[in-house]
């Protein structure tokens, strides 16, 4: 009696599975399946951390006032119909007030009409909530006042002149326009606490509507048929929580149409049937090792023989930069997909000067000369660099170790690989207890963001690392960067940026190993693949991809 029952059950199960699989297979034809690297922690533009996984979905579901296209960094109108300039009168003569005429007849995904009130609400909300870890400072530090002139005109006044406002603030995901009506209907929001609606829901005006989010598994976005611009081709499903190797495997097997990957996987995918590699342009996240001149007394790791102010000597910083084997890093770790870039303006960002001097080739003789001059050649030293273990940055540190130790065995570098949380804790405090650490820079659209964060004597890292006490001429660098921040004339600004790049070459606060190539892999059924580093990671705009090619 048992066997026939088992057989019948199995048969029924098989038939039911087949019947069930058929429609799933049909649906997959119209959905781009993307193997994502990182799952969002939040979907709220006021809460999202710049550079974090949530930015990519916010990018697709919300709009901002301005945007950038696929092929250049030129600003384009989005919810605003015109780009403010001094020439068209939309930037006031004093350079402080920006006026945005808005697009009419737009509705949010819930049917609510879009007006200037939504823009004011969205930006004020970011400033008022002041959520830790978010990009609220992008607005709170710049914006003095927001105003609704009429239903379709919005104005913002800045605290001070800011040449980068459109790129550094208006273009960011933090500046996404949310639906005032929907948020207010979900309950009150107080300082430091949102009502939670937008943390796991999205109501925007973008090319995709938010369908579902099965946390730790996947998220589905649907084409918005009423999009004011060119409608997207296909729905998108983002698959989360997959190891890089599994994503590569899934792409080869056709389970995914696009994946987030890095240059080290290109060799595995090249020549695979049905797989295309996209490798054009560069990410805007220089891979760097920072020098810390502000280590508290006695805080260096056990074994370090350097004094706390070791890197205050510019010759030592120069020597490290000369000693690093850039070719090994680019050709080895990055599989050839990378470029050397100068301090500290990445290639592809406004003002990057191709003629600026760079540490692009290992120069052992010069490194030796500088180490000798600094008086550390004979006695030697041991210094520790802390880094997230198992990362590309760790390879960069190992190359630094090899580079330095191959010059002189008395010069020792310890590479301390630690878990991500430990690393974050190590470099998030006011003081860093290591002489060096490695990571990548945060991507930005305007050079001032890099210069303020990574070069200004009183900027974010300037204060933590003690740049002011270490630069040969800190005031000169500070004045130049401050000028770049407010200079509205593009040619003059470009000249100033070129000038500061030369100064930062001579007085380097970082080793910039390389700028990583923009690389991705996708199925050949996908058309129009483009990576734009100014779009949030993975720098893909799914709305322009066409899976069916139709």
Partner 1 sequence: MQIRDYIIRRLLILPVLILGVSIIVFALTRIGGSPIGVYLSHEMNATEVAALEERFHLNEPLVVQYWYWAKGALSGDFGYSGVASAPVSEVFWKKFASTMELSVFSALIAVWLGLKLGVFAGKRRNRWQDHLTRIVAVSGASLPLFWFGIVLLIVFWANLGWFPVGRSDAEVWDSIAHPTGFYSLDGLIAGSIPAFLDALWHLVLPSITLGFGAVAIITRMMRSALIEELQQDYVDAARAKGLPERLVLNRHAKRNALVPTVTVIGLTIAFLMQGAIAAEIIFRWPGLGRWMADAVVRGDQATIMTYVLFTSVLFLFANLIVDIVYAKLDPRVRLGD
Binding site for partner 1 (CB under 8 A): 13, 16-17, 20, 24, 27, 41-42, 49-52, 132-135, 137, 211-212, 214-220, 237, 239, 241-243, 246, 249-250, 252-255, 419-425, 427-430, 442
Residue 309, Cβ neighbours under 10 Å: how many?
15
Query: What is the nearest approach in angstroms of partner 1 to the Cβ of residue 218?
Result: 5
The count of residues in the chain is 550
DSSP letter assigned to residue 524: T
Between the alpha carbon of residue 417 and those of residues 14, 288, 329, 420, the distances in Å are 50, 16, 18, 9
Looking up tokens 């008022």 gives 128
Query: What is the nearest approach in angstroms of partner 1 to the Cβ of residue 180?
Result: 25
Query: What is the nearest approach in angstroms of partner 1 to the Cβ of residue 209?
Result: 13
Q: Which is nearer to partner 1, 268 or 353 (CB)?
A: 268
Query: What is the nearest approach in angstroms of partner 1 to the Cβ of residue 430?
Result: 5
Q: Which is nearer to partner 1, 115 or 164 (CB)?
A: 164
DSSP letter assigned to residue 263: G
Q: Are 477 and 315 in contact (CB under 8 A)?
A: no
Residue 156, H or E segment? strand 153-158
Helix (H, G, I), strand (E, B) or coil at 468: coil
Q: Are 410 and 306 in contact (CB under 8 A)?
A: no
The two structure tokens encoding residue 468:
């002011």
**3-class SS letters over 273-291:** CCEEEEEEEECCCCEEEEE
Q: Which residues contact 421 (CB under 8 A, 6 or more apart)?
A: none
Report d(CA 240, CA 215) in Å as an integer.
Answer: 8
Query: What is the nearest approach in angstroms of partner 1 to the Cβ of residue 536?
Result: 15
Query: What is the nearest approach in angstroms of partner 1 to the Cβ of residue 473?
Result: 28
Instruction: Output the CA angle 352-316-347, nearest 5 degrees.
Output: 15
Query: What is the nearest approach in angstroms of partner 1 to the Cβ of residue 439?
Result: 9
Q: Which is nearer to partner 1, 241 or 336 (CB)?
A: 241
Query: What is the nearest approach in angstroms of partner 1 to the Cβ of residue 215?
Result: 7
């Amino acid at each position: 009696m048992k066997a026939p029952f088992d057989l019948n059950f199995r048969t029924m199960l098989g038939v039911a599975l087949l019947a069930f699989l058929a429609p799933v297979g049909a649906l997959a034809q119209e959905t781009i399946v993307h193997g994502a690297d990182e799952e969002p922690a939040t979907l709220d533009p006021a809460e999202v951390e710049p550079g974090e996984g949530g930015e990519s979905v916010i990018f697709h579901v919300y709009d901002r006032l301005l945007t950038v296209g696929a092929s250049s960094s030129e600003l384009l109108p989005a919810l605003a119909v015109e780009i403010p300039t001094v020439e068209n009168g939309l930037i006031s003569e004093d350079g402080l007030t920006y006026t945005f005429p808005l697009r009419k007849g737009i509705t949010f995904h819930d049917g609510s009409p879009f007006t200037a009130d939504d823009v004011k609400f969205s930006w004020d909300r970011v400033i008022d909530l002041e959520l830790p870890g978010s990009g609220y400072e992008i607005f709170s530090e710049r914006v003095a006042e927001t105003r609704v002139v009429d239903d379709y005109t919005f104005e913002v006044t800045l605290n001070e002149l800011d040449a980068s406002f459109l790129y550094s603030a208006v273009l960011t995901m933090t500046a996404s326009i949310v639906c005032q009506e929907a948020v207010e209907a979900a309950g009150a929001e107080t300082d430091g606490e949102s009502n939670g609606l937008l943390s796991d829901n999205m109501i925007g005006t973008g090319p995709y509507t938010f369908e579902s989010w099965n946390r730790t598994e996947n998220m589905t976005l649907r084409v918005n048929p009423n999009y004011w611009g060119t409608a997207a081709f296909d729905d998108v499903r983002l698959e989360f929580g997959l190891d890089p190797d599994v994503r590569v495997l899934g792409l080869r097997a056709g389970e995914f149409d696009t994946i987030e990957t890095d240059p080290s996987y290109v060799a595995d995918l090249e020549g695979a049937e049905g797989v295309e590699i996209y490798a054009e342009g560069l990410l805007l996240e220089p891979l760097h090792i920072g020098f810390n001149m502000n280590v508290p007394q006695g805080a260096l790791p056990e074994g370090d023989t350097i004094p706390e102010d070791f890197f205050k000597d510019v010759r030592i910083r120069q020597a490290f930069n000369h000693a690093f084997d850039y070719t090994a890093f680019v050709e080895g770790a990055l599989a050839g997909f990378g470029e050397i870039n100068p301090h500290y303006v990445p290639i592809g960002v406004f003002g990057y000067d191709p003629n600026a001097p760079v540490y692009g080739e290992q120069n052992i003789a010069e490194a030796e000369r500088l180490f000798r001059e600094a008086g550390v050649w004979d006695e030697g030293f041991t210094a520790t660099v802390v880094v997230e273990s198992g990362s590309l940055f760790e390879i960069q540190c190992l190359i630094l170790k090899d580079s330095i130790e191959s010059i002189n065995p008395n010069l020792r570098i310890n590479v301390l690989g630690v878990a991500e949380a430990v690393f974050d804790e190590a470099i998030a405090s006011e003081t860093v207890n290591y002489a060096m650490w490695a990571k990548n820079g945060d991507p930005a659209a305007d050079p001032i963001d890099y210069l303020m964060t990574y070069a200004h004597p009183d900027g974010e890292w300037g204060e933590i690392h003690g740049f002011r006490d270490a630069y040969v001429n800190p005031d000169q660098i500070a004045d130049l960067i401050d000028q770049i921040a407010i200079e509205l004339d593009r040619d003059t600004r470009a000249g100033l940026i070129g000038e500061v790049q030369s100064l930062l070459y001579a007085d380097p606060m970082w080793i910039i190993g390389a700028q990583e190539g923009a690389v991705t892999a996708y199925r050949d059924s996908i058309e129009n693949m483009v990576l734009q580093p100014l779009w949030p990671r993975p720098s893909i705009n799914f709305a322009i991809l066409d899976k069916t090619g139709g």
